[in-house]
Chain A
Amino acid sequence: MAEIQIKNIAKNFGSYQALHDINLTIADQEFMVLLGASGCGKSTLLRIIAGLETATTGEVWIGGRRVDHLSPKDRGISMVFQNYAVFPHLTVFENIGFGLRMQKLPDDEVTRRVERTAGLMHIDQLLKRYSGELSGGQRQRVAVARALAMEPDVILMDEPLSNLDALLRLEMRAELKGVLADSKTTAIYVTHDQVEAMSLADRISVMHQGRIVQAATPIEVYRNPAAEFVAGFIGNPPMNFLPATPSGDGKWQVAGQVLDGPTSRSAPLQFAVRPEDIRPADSGLTATAKVVEPLGAHLLVTCEVEGTMFRAVLDSDLTVHVGDQLTLAPQPDRIRWFDPETTLAVA
């Protein structure tokens, strides 16, 4: 059982505040992904949980035990690094067994655990090699096997796949998900790749400028972004935004169209809709096609709606030419509204 609680964590580097009052609870055996652009503080937060960095204020609890004053080795964690950090002077076997040897486990137990985890990561035939003789993908497998062999309560991963080429990344992603689900370990995974986050996570914490903007399941983050930042960050292409002015009684004027919206607000809002939730219709927003990209499965059309860029993912059977006038209707139940002052979602 290893639930992780992060309480009021803040971190300053000199006068720069990298993390602002982070509060997060990660359930036992949950796969949590910290997602954000570079410099958002996600790696710093992970390193604070690992004990490689000390928080300026706040507490870290793992499995009901406060650990923020403990050194990394006493926290019941193990970590996978972006550049693998496989020890070059040791064989693959000794790398995987390194932590077990530090725990002074008997030789036959070390051998058993090394062989088991090496089998899980399909590197059993490489045990006698040195890291200089391995490819990037193999080194990453060694790094994951080394972390798993410790049988930790929590496994922490800092962009573990970002040094691999695209195809290998896809393969390792699926494998990691399977292996970690079987290991019943709580996992925290840092990435800037939203596809990786969506495909791996039980829950995603989207981070921006040292704050967690939203922590929710991948589909919730995708469907109901809590803030404009999340809406613009998640999804490829991201959500479309248009200014909306109130015309009373829950009616909102968007690019000359009147749409149903929140009843509780009277100040202007941002209207938002995903490009894939738009259909050509008889009545709707008037758009001029600027760029047409046939992507095989869909047709990505970048248009202009009252001077604002607006993307639509349409059926690939449609024929659209640059300069065409389109009438596009957003699916009513997929429309979201944001307050331009706070940038937060409005129900």
Chain B
Amino acid sequence: MTDAVADLPADTGASRKAGQFLYGASVVLLCAWVIVPLYFLLLNTLSSPEEVNSFPKSFLPHFDLGSLTFFANFQGILRALWNSVLVAAMTMVMSIVIGAPAGYALSRFEFRGKEAFRLLILLTRAFPLPLLALPLAVLFIRTGLDDTAFGLALVHTTLAIPFAVLITFSLFSGIPIELEEAAWTLGCTRFTAFTKVVLPLILPGITASAIFAFVISWNEVFAAAVLTIENRTLPAFLLQTLGEAPLHLKFAGGFILVVPALIFIFAVRKYLFAMWGIANR
């Protein structure tokens, strides 16, 4: 009897320790999963061409900026970077401007075919882009949208809208309708109730959804490669120019591609967290 009592705390203590260890190990593993490739990317970018191809590697980079300088002076790279930012920014704005009202309608109104509409939105992602690329290219050439940042932004918007709609739908659904109704009884129209009450509450979530759109556009390479020639975005530009390039330049190119997206997400990370938190409000 006394033994059992004495055993009990020790037992739970041991299992708690095991749980903590498992938790800690999972965290380390997940972090390593993300950080190790990024670290090697950084390492190889900052190494001289000889070091990139050698083995074993040193764990500290030698800050050889040769590859990066090469890229900085590379014909067209800044233009491609600028195009990428431009297209991603347009995509961000358009997908929110179009997607958020759809999300609002889905969460606030009952209408025929609502469920079908939600499904259809997702189905737009069911068609593989390569299948659409040729007809799109023809259409764009006819309308003069080919090789423009705006034309590409249109395609990227189509890719980003399903996420924008579904994310904003869940955001709006998280705002009790009574808050809007209270605003209506306090002198608001439907529009001013939206701008004064709903918008401030979902702004963090809208930002997060905009970030998704930005990242989708930033990473998209297929449509960008097919639909542009002169005005290539960074991924399409790198795909085109680095195909046959030596390894150290590929690393440097990858680095240039990853870093802006990382910085952007890091800068707005609190909005990403807020998006998950807002449902509990």
Contacts and interface: CB of A to CB of B under 8 A. Distances in A.
Interface in A50-96: 50-52, 71-73, 77-79, 81-83, 85, 87-89
A281 to B, nearest CB: 54
Interface string B166-209: 00000000001011011111111100100011001100000000
Given A50-B185, A99-B186, A146-B186, A81 B178 contact: yes
A92 B182 CA distance: 15
B142 interface: no
B181 A73 contact: no
B112 interface: no
A85 B187 contact: no
Given A81-B178, A102-B192, A87 B185 contact: no
A88 B107 CA distance: 20
B277 to A, nearest CB: 12
B186 A81 contact: no
A89 B192 CA distance: 15
B178 to A, nearest CB: 4
Contacts of A146: 182, 186
A83 B281 CA distance: 13
Contacts of B197: 87, 89
Contact of A81 (B182, B192, B201): B182
Contact of A89 (B185, B187, B201): B201
Nearest to B187: A102
Contact of B181 (A52, A99, A102): A52
Q: How large is the interface on B (under 10, 10 to 19, 20 to 34, 35 or more residues)?
A: 10 to 19
Contacts of B183: 87, 98
Nearest to A149: B186
A103 interface: yes
B101 to A, nearest CB: 20
A146 B200 CA distance: 20
Main secondary structure of the interface of B (DSSP, over half): helix
Contact of B176 (A73, A85, A102, A150): A85
A78 B201 contact: no
B205 to A, nearest CB: 13
Contact of B189 (A50, A52, A71): A71
B189 A81 contact: no
Nearest to B201: A89
B188 A78 contact: no
A88 B187 CA distance: 18
Given A98-B186, A99-B186, A150-B186, A85 B181 contact: yes
Contact of A52 (B184, B187, B201, B281): B184
A285 to B, nearest CB: 50
Contacts of B182: 79, 81, 85, 87, 143, 146
Contacts of A98: 183, 186, 196
B189 A73 contact: yes
A79 B181 contact: yes
Interface string A136-167: 00000001001000100000100000000000
A70 to B, nearest CB: 11
B197 to A, nearest CB: 6
Interface of A: 50-52, 71-73, 77-79, 81-83, 85, 87-89, 98-99, 102-103, 143, 146, 150, 156
Interface of B: 176, 178-179, 181-189, 192, 196-197, 200-201, 281
12 contacts: A50-B181, A50-B185, A51-B185, A72-B185, A73-B184, A81-B182, A82-B178, A85-B178, A87-B197, A88-B201, A103-B187, A146-B182
Pick the 10 closest A-B CB pairs, nearest first: A102-B187, A99-B186, A85-B182, A85-B178, A72-B184, A79-B185, A73-B187, A89-B200, A81-B178, A72-B185
Given A73-B185, A102-B187, 19 more contacts: A51-B184, A52-B181, A71-B184, A72-B181, A73-B184, A79-B185, A81-B182, A83-B176, A85-B178, A85-B181, A88-B281, A89-B201, A98-B186, A99-B187, A102-B188, A102-B192, A150-B186, A150-B187, A156-B185
